[in-house]
Amino acid sequence: MLADAQRLGDCGPEIFDPAAYGARARPVDAGGRQAAWFVEGPGWQGVLRRYRRGGLVARLSRDAYVWTGESATRSFREFRLLAAMRALGLAVPAPLGAAYWRHGLAYRAAILVERIPDVRPLALSLGEPLWEDVAGAIVAMHRAGVWHADLNAYNILAGADGRIWLIDFDRGVQGRLSERGRRDNLERLRRSLRKVAGEEGERFWMKLRDSYWAAWGVGSQP
Protein backbone atom coordinates (compact mmCIF):
# COMPACT_ATOMS: atom_id res chain seq x y z
CA MET A 1 0.00 0.00 0.00
CA LEU A 2 0.92 3.66 -0.41
CA ALA A 3 -0.15 6.28 2.12
CA ASP A 4 0.37 9.92 3.00
CA ALA A 5 1.84 9.39 6.46
CA GLN A 6 1.58 13.09 7.33
CA ARG A 7 -2.18 13.02 6.82
CA LEU A 8 -3.06 9.48 7.88
CA GLY A 9 -0.41 8.77 10.50
CA ASP A 10 0.49 5.16 11.28
CA CYS A 11 -2.33 3.51 9.34
CA GLY A 12 -2.87 0.00 8.08
CA PRO A 13 -5.01 -1.73 5.46
CA GLU A 14 -8.11 -1.06 7.55
CA ILE A 15 -8.33 2.40 5.96
CA PHE A 16 -9.53 0.68 2.78
CA ASP A 17 -12.35 -1.17 4.55
CA PRO A 18 -15.56 0.89 4.74
CA ALA A 19 -16.78 -1.27 7.63
CA ALA A 20 -13.84 -0.07 9.74
CA TYR A 21 -15.31 3.46 9.70
CA GLY A 22 -18.68 2.43 11.09
CA ALA A 23 -21.15 5.32 10.98
CA ARG A 24 -18.44 7.55 9.50
CA ALA A 25 -18.79 5.75 6.14
CA ARG A 26 -21.60 6.75 3.77
CA PRO A 27 -22.09 5.39 0.25
CA VAL A 28 -21.54 7.88 -2.56
CA ASP A 29 -24.91 8.56 -4.15
CA ALA A 30 -23.86 9.42 -7.71
CA GLY A 31 -21.46 7.17 -9.59
CA GLY A 32 -18.99 4.89 -7.89
CA ARG A 33 -20.63 1.67 -9.16
CA GLN A 34 -21.77 0.97 -5.61
CA ALA A 35 -18.11 0.79 -4.56
CA ALA A 36 -17.36 4.29 -3.23
CA TRP A 37 -17.89 5.78 0.22
CA PHE A 38 -17.45 9.10 1.97
CA VAL A 39 -15.26 8.40 5.01
CA GLU A 40 -13.43 10.41 7.62
CA GLY A 41 -10.61 10.11 10.10
CA PRO A 42 -8.79 12.36 12.54
CA GLY A 43 -8.39 15.70 10.76
CA TRP A 44 -9.38 14.53 7.29
CA GLN A 45 -12.36 13.61 5.12
CA GLY A 46 -12.01 11.33 2.14
CA VAL A 47 -13.58 9.31 -0.61
CA LEU A 48 -12.77 5.60 -0.54
CA ARG A 49 -13.19 3.84 -3.86
CA ARG A 50 -12.75 0.22 -4.77
CA TYR A 51 -11.97 -0.42 -8.41
CA ARG A 52 -14.87 -2.02 -10.25
CA ARG A 53 -15.28 -2.98 -13.86
CA GLY A 54 -18.07 -1.76 -16.10
CA GLY A 55 -19.59 -3.00 -19.32
CA LEU A 56 -19.69 -6.59 -20.53
CA VAL A 57 -16.39 -7.57 -18.92
CA ALA A 58 -18.00 -7.06 -15.50
CA ARG A 59 -20.01 -10.21 -16.14
CA LEU A 60 -16.78 -12.18 -15.91
CA SER A 61 -15.35 -10.35 -12.91
CA ARG A 62 -16.55 -7.20 -11.19
CA ASP A 63 -13.32 -6.26 -9.45
CA ALA A 64 -10.41 -8.51 -10.50
CA TYR A 65 -7.69 -7.27 -12.85
CA VAL A 66 -4.82 -9.11 -14.54
CA TRP A 67 -1.56 -8.79 -12.60
CA THR A 68 1.21 -7.20 -14.68
CA GLY A 69 3.34 -5.77 -11.88
CA GLU A 70 2.98 -3.43 -8.92
CA SER A 71 3.68 -0.22 -10.82
CA ALA A 72 0.88 -1.09 -13.28
CA THR A 73 -1.85 -1.52 -10.66
CA ARG A 74 -4.77 0.84 -11.18
CA SER A 75 -4.56 2.21 -7.64
CA PHE A 76 -0.81 2.96 -7.60
CA ARG A 77 -0.96 4.57 -11.04
CA GLU A 78 -3.84 6.85 -10.06
CA PHE A 79 -2.22 7.75 -6.72
CA ARG A 80 1.02 8.76 -8.43
CA LEU A 81 -0.74 10.65 -11.22
CA LEU A 82 -2.75 12.68 -8.70
CA ALA A 83 0.40 13.43 -6.71
CA ALA A 84 2.16 14.64 -9.87
CA MET A 85 -0.79 16.84 -10.82
CA ARG A 86 -1.03 18.31 -7.34
CA ALA A 87 2.67 19.15 -7.53
CA LEU A 88 1.89 21.15 -10.67
CA GLY A 89 -0.84 23.07 -8.84
CA LEU A 90 -3.77 21.46 -10.67
CA ALA A 91 -7.16 21.29 -8.96
CA VAL A 92 -7.49 17.56 -8.34
CA PRO A 93 -8.09 15.63 -5.10
CA ALA A 94 -5.08 14.95 -2.90
CA PRO A 95 -4.22 11.23 -2.86
CA LEU A 96 -4.24 9.85 0.68
CA GLY A 97 -3.73 6.13 0.17
CA ALA A 98 -3.71 3.33 -2.38
CA ALA A 99 -3.61 -0.43 -2.04
CA TYR A 100 -3.84 -3.67 -3.97
CA TRP A 101 -4.42 -7.29 -2.98
CA ARG A 102 -2.79 -9.85 -5.23
CA HIS A 103 -4.33 -13.29 -5.78
CA GLY A 104 -2.10 -15.28 -8.12
CA LEU A 105 -2.46 -13.82 -11.61
CA ALA A 106 -5.11 -11.30 -10.54
CA TYR A 107 -5.44 -8.43 -8.10
CA ARG A 108 -8.03 -6.16 -6.55
CA ALA A 109 -7.44 -2.54 -5.62
CA ALA A 110 -8.70 0.52 -3.77
CA ILE A 111 -7.79 4.18 -3.43
CA LEU A 112 -8.48 6.84 -0.82
CA VAL A 113 -8.49 10.50 -1.88
CA GLU A 114 -9.31 13.67 0.00
CA ARG A 115 -12.92 14.78 -0.23
CA ILE A 116 -13.40 18.22 -1.77
CA PRO A 117 -15.86 20.23 0.34
CA ASP A 118 -18.78 22.28 -0.97
CA VAL A 119 -18.77 21.07 -4.56
CA ARG A 120 -21.44 19.98 -7.00
CA PRO A 121 -21.07 18.07 -10.29
CA LEU A 122 -21.18 19.95 -13.55
CA ALA A 123 -24.17 17.80 -14.52
CA LEU A 124 -26.21 19.68 -11.90
CA SER A 125 -24.77 23.12 -12.68
CA LEU A 126 -25.43 23.63 -16.39
CA GLY A 127 -27.65 26.63 -15.75
CA GLU A 128 -24.62 28.56 -14.50
CA PRO A 129 -22.06 30.35 -16.74
CA LEU A 130 -19.22 27.96 -15.90
CA TRP A 131 -18.04 27.09 -19.42
CA GLU A 132 -14.96 29.31 -19.39
CA ASP A 133 -13.83 28.04 -15.98
CA VAL A 134 -14.43 24.42 -16.97
CA ALA A 135 -12.58 24.94 -20.24
CA GLY A 136 -9.70 26.51 -18.34
CA ALA A 137 -9.42 23.53 -16.01
CA ILE A 138 -9.35 21.11 -18.94
CA VAL A 139 -6.76 23.22 -20.78
CA ALA A 140 -4.56 23.22 -17.67
CA MET A 141 -4.83 19.43 -17.46
CA HIS A 142 -3.98 19.03 -21.14
CA ARG A 143 -1.03 21.45 -20.94
CA ALA A 144 0.31 19.21 -18.18
CA GLY A 145 0.16 16.34 -20.69
CA VAL A 146 -2.62 14.50 -18.84
CA TRP A 147 -5.30 12.48 -20.62
CA HIS A 148 -8.47 11.72 -18.64
CA ALA A 149 -9.97 8.32 -19.41
CA ASP A 150 -13.54 9.29 -18.49
CA LEU A 151 -14.04 13.04 -18.67
CA ASN A 152 -17.78 13.34 -18.07
CA ALA A 153 -20.25 15.73 -16.48
CA TYR A 154 -19.95 14.01 -13.09
CA ASN A 155 -16.15 14.00 -12.98
CA ILE A 156 -16.03 17.80 -13.16
CA LEU A 157 -16.97 19.57 -9.93
CA ALA A 158 -17.76 23.23 -9.32
CA GLY A 159 -16.76 24.65 -5.94
CA ALA A 160 -18.70 27.22 -3.97
CA ASP A 161 -15.70 29.50 -4.44
CA GLY A 162 -15.92 29.18 -8.23
CA ARG A 163 -12.97 26.80 -8.58
CA ILE A 164 -13.34 23.86 -10.96
CA TRP A 165 -12.04 20.45 -9.88
CA LEU A 166 -11.38 17.36 -11.98
CA ILE A 167 -11.74 13.94 -10.35
CA ASP A 168 -11.51 10.19 -11.02
CA PHE A 169 -8.23 9.68 -12.84
CA ASP A 170 -8.45 5.89 -13.04
CA ARG A 171 -6.60 4.85 -16.24
CA GLY A 172 -5.47 8.44 -16.78
CA VAL A 173 -1.98 8.93 -18.17
CA GLN A 174 0.56 11.72 -18.28
CA GLY A 175 2.98 12.15 -21.13
CA ARG A 176 3.02 13.64 -24.59
CA LEU A 177 -0.66 14.33 -25.21
CA SER A 178 -1.68 14.46 -28.86
CA GLU A 179 -4.32 16.67 -30.41
CA ARG A 180 -6.38 13.54 -31.01
CA GLY A 181 -6.18 12.74 -27.29
CA ARG A 182 -7.40 16.22 -26.43
CA ARG A 183 -10.27 15.97 -28.89
CA ASP A 184 -11.21 12.54 -27.57
CA ASN A 185 -11.51 14.02 -24.08
CA LEU A 186 -13.69 16.85 -25.35
CA GLU A 187 -15.94 14.55 -27.38
CA ARG A 188 -16.40 12.25 -24.39
CA LEU A 189 -17.53 15.25 -22.37
CA ARG A 190 -19.85 16.35 -25.16
CA ARG A 191 -21.59 12.96 -25.21
CA SER A 192 -21.96 13.08 -21.45
CA LEU A 193 -23.49 16.57 -21.50
CA ARG A 194 -25.93 15.51 -24.19
CA LYS A 195 -26.89 12.44 -22.20
CA VAL A 196 -27.58 14.27 -18.95
CA ALA A 197 -29.17 17.46 -20.33
CA GLY A 198 -30.11 17.11 -23.99
CA GLU A 199 -30.26 20.43 -25.80
CA GLU A 200 -29.21 22.36 -22.69
CA GLY A 201 -26.12 20.18 -22.48
CA GLU A 202 -25.34 20.78 -26.15
CA ARG A 203 -25.64 24.55 -25.72
CA PHE A 204 -23.29 24.42 -22.75
CA TRP A 205 -20.88 22.28 -24.75
CA MET A 206 -20.75 24.74 -27.66
CA LYS A 207 -19.73 27.56 -25.32
CA LEU A 208 -17.24 25.31 -23.53
CA ARG A 209 -15.71 24.18 -26.83
CA ASP A 210 -15.16 27.75 -28.02
CA SER A 211 -13.72 28.73 -24.63
CA TYR A 212 -11.37 25.74 -24.70
CA TRP A 213 -9.87 26.55 -28.09
CA ALA A 214 -9.64 30.24 -27.26
CA ALA A 215 -7.72 29.39 -24.07
CA TRP A 216 -5.57 26.94 -26.02
CA GLY A 217 -4.72 29.76 -28.38
CA VAL A 218 -5.92 28.53 -31.76
CA GLY A 219 -9.40 30.04 -32.03
CA SER A 220 -12.70 28.19 -32.51
CA GLN A 221 -12.55 24.63 -33.82
CA PRO A 222 -15.28 22.38 -35.28
Q: Which CATH number is 101's domain given?
A: 3.30.200
31-45, 133-147, 156-170, 175-189: least confident range: 31-45
| Average predicted confidence (pLDDT) for the chain | 93
Q: Where are the alpha helices (DSSP H) in 98-170?
A: 131-143
Residue numbers annotated as active site: 150
Among candidate residues 87, 114, 141, the one where a domain is terminated: 114
pLDDT in tens, 10-69: 899 999 999 999 988 999 876 545 689 999 999 999 999 999 986 555 456 789 999 999
* Residues 123, 106 share a domain: no
pLDDT in tens, 91-106: 999 999 999 999 999 9
129 has pLDDT over 70: yes
131-135, 197-201, 216-220: least confident range: 216-220
Q: What percent of the chain has pLDDT over 70?
A: 93
Is 142 part of any domain?
yes
* Residues 126, 81 share a domain: no
* Residues 62, 36 share a domain: yes
Contact 95/4 with Cβ under 8 angstroms?
yes
Q: Which CATH number is 208's domain given?
A: 1.10.510.10
Among candidate residues 77, 94, 114, the one where a domain is terminated: 114
Among candidate residues 114, 140, 162, the one where a domain is terminated: 114
Rounded Cα–Cα distance for residues 122 and 102 (Å): 36
Average pLDDT over residues 194-211: 97
Q: Determine the pLDDT at residue 58.
A: 46
Is 184 part of any domain?
yes
Give the amino acid at 16.
F
List Cα–Cα distances, 192 to 18, 19, 39, 169, 202, in angstroms: 30, 33, 28, 17, 10
Coil, strand or helix: which one is 194?
Answer: helix
Domain of 48 in residue numbering reads as 7-114
pTM value? Answer: 0.92
Q: Determine the pLDDT at residue 34.
A: 64
Contact 76/100 with Cβ under 8 angstroms?
yes
